[in-house]
Amino acid sequence: MDFTTIVFYVFAALAIFAAVRVVTARNPVHAVLYLVLAFFNVAGLWLLLQAEFLAMALIMVYVGAVMVLFLFVVMMLDINIERVRSGFWNYLPLGATIGLLMVAEMAMVLSGKYFGLEALPGHAMAPDYSNTKELGRLLFTDYVYPFELASVVLLVGIVAAVMLTLRHRKDVKHLNPARQIAVKAADRLRIVKMASEKEQGE
């Protein structure tokens, strides 16, 4: 067993452990943190596959931004874990079916030769091969329309999210930053010149 294989098994085992703890952890904040750990290990696996752009993007986008906001929300909520678990037996058949489907799909991918799927050919990369550059070139040449379409969908999502949460309340004391910045000392303060006064009784 060479070094890479050992590293793979360490990452894989940790990823599975973390994924199991995401669903079994009693504290929602702990569950979110286990999800972060799972992301880290998956990023490690992608690095082993020489997909450094995907690995870094996973950490940057999911761990660095999405999960931070997720944690933000989970910490604010007072989640009653008993109530969340109350529907467990009702949802079990549906969950189990989806789980079994995913297991079947994974089995078909992993044992491709029995199901008539060609295993993905391994590529021997040149030493100066840059995953990031190649991905960028493909995205902006061959796949430019799907890529731009995806970004438009995301933009619509952003605008929709803003519109859904935007409420104009009348009783808010709204500040106008431009006016605040434009304020000069003379607008607020008047310096009066006056002769000094004599004290009484002298």
Among 15, 36, 38, 42, binds another protein (CB under 8 A): 36
The tokens of 16 are what?
Answer: 């599975």
Among 14, 19, 22, 56, binds another protein (CB under 8 A): 56
**Shortest Å distance, C-beta 37 to another protein:** 11
DSSP state of 113: G
**Shortest Å distance, C-beta 57 to another protein:** 7
65 binds another protein (CB under 8 A): yes
- Residues in contact with 31: Cβ distance below 8 Å, sequence separation at least 6, in sequence order: 21, 22, 23, 25
59 binds another protein (CB under 8 A): yes
Length of the chain: 202
**Shortest Å distance, C-beta 40 to another protein:** 9
Among 93, 121, 177, 201, binds another protein (CB under 8 A): 177
Among 13, 49, 75, 109, binds another protein (CB under 8 A): 75
Q: In whole angstroms, what is the distance from residue 136 CA to residue 140 CA?
A: 6
Q: In whole angstroms, what is the distance from residue 88 CA to residue 96 CA?
A: 11
By C-alpha distance, which of 17, 12, 70 is closest to 41?
12
The tokens of 2 are what?
Answer: 């060479």
By C-alpha distance, which of 68, 72, 46, 73 is closest to 135?
46
By C-alpha distance, which of 29, 31, 4 is closest to 19?
31
How many residues touch another protein under the rule CB under 8 A: the total is 25
**Shortest Å distance, C-beta 100 to another protein:** 34
Residues at the site binding another protein, with contacts judged by CB under 8 A: 27, 29-30, 33, 36, 52-53, 56-57, 59-60, 63-65, 68-69, 71-72, 75-76, 130-132, 175, 177
